């Protein structure tokens, strides 16, 4: 390649790199804003954690009376608690912006609105994963199972990523609705059926000591789900606020 061609390509590459870096900084700024709000208000993480611990304890006590082996019900309990606890956090993702009156300012910020979406996804992912670690720890003691198996942790990571990716877009759709607390789970949970089924199968397989070859199809379902819905949400997020 000639020196002239090198001179032409290099500025283009620098602009692309600078643009990506600037975009990621904006995503990080949105996420950091939500994290600072949570540190000040403690509205999301404490609520999700308290609900999760109570739900696991209730499930553990209730099923212990009738189910002979905890391995039979632990996978379902784990993913049910994750899904319902996650709704509490997702409701506050945009609902808190509406309640505080900061949503118009956020939408008017000089950033691409997809950066707002990914910033919210990142914050919701951190909240949900932190809550999930508490759930796994409580289940480790309540059900006396190795809930920290590598395959189970990977399943949780993929499942929670898909969950918050879809949940954030639905939270944005229902943010201005007075019935958002009921509308969000009604819209979200049916879409989460593939994540729930695959997550339960992977957790059960990890507890039963199955090999990766036996679990590969379920990991594939979670990975494809995450990819499809992240791309769809990225394309649709701007349309949600086009009249805002």
Q: Taking the chain (244 residues) in consecutive chunks of 10 residues, what is each chunk's mean pLDDT?
A: 42 49 89 88 87 92 75 90 92 82 80 88 95 94 89 96 94 84 90 95 93 94 95 84 60
DSSP 112: -
Q: What is the pLDDT of residue 237?
A: 82
- C-alpha–C-alpha distance, residues 225 and 93, integer Å: 22
Q: What is the pLDDT of residue 16?
A: 40
Closest to 119 in 3D by CA, of 133, 132, 107, 104: 107
| Residue 87, CA atoms < 13 Å, CB-side half-sphere | 19
Q: What is the pLDDT of residue 73?
A: 87
CA angle, residues 168, 57, 89, in degrees to nearest 5: 15
DSSP 55: H
Q: Which residue range forms the structural domain that includes residue 82?
A: 3-240
Alpha-helix runs per DSSP H in the chain: 3-41, 45-64, 74-100, 103-108, 113-142, 150-174, 180-191, 193-208, 212-240
Q: What is the pLDDT of residue 17?
A: 46
Number of separate domains in the chain: 1
DSSP 72: G
- Buried b vs exposed e over 157-193: b needs ≥16 C-beta within 10 Å? ebbbbbbbbbbbbbbbbbbeeeebeebbbebbeebbe
Predicted model pTM: 0.87
Q: What is the pLDDT of residue 61?
A: 84
DSSP 71: G
Q: What is the pLDDT of residue 2?
A: 44
């Amino acid at each position: 390649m000639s020196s002239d061609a090198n001179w032409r390509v290099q500025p283009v590459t620098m602009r692309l790199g600078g643009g990506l870096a600037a975009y990621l900084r904006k995503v990080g700024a949105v996420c950091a804003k939500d994290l600072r709000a949570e540190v000040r208000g403690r509205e999301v993480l404490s609520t999700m954690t308290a609900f999760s611990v109570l739900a696991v304890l209730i499930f553990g006590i209730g099923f212990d009376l009738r189910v002979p082996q905890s391995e039979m019900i632990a996978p379902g309990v784990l993913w049910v608690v994750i899904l319902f606890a996650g709704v509490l956090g997702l409701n506050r993702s945009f609902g808190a912006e509406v309640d505080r009156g900061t949503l118009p300012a956020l939408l008017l910020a000089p950033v691409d609105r997809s950066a707002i979406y990914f910033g919210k996804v990142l914050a919701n992912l951190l909240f949900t994963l932190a809550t999930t670690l508490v759930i796994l720890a409580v289940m480790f003691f309540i059900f006396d199972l190795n809930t920290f198996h590598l395959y189970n942790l990977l399943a949780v990571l993929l499942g929670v990523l898909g969950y918050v990716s879809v949940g954030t877009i639905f939270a944005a759709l229902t943010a201005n609705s007075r019935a958002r607390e009921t509308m969000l789970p009604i819209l979200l949970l049916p879409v989460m059926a593939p994540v729930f089924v695959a997550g339960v199968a992977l957790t059960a397989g990890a507890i039963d000591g199955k090999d990766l070859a036996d679990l590969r199809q379920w990991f594939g379902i979670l990975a494809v789900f995450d990819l499809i819905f992240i791309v769809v949400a990225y394309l649709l997020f701007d349309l949600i606020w086009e009249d805002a």
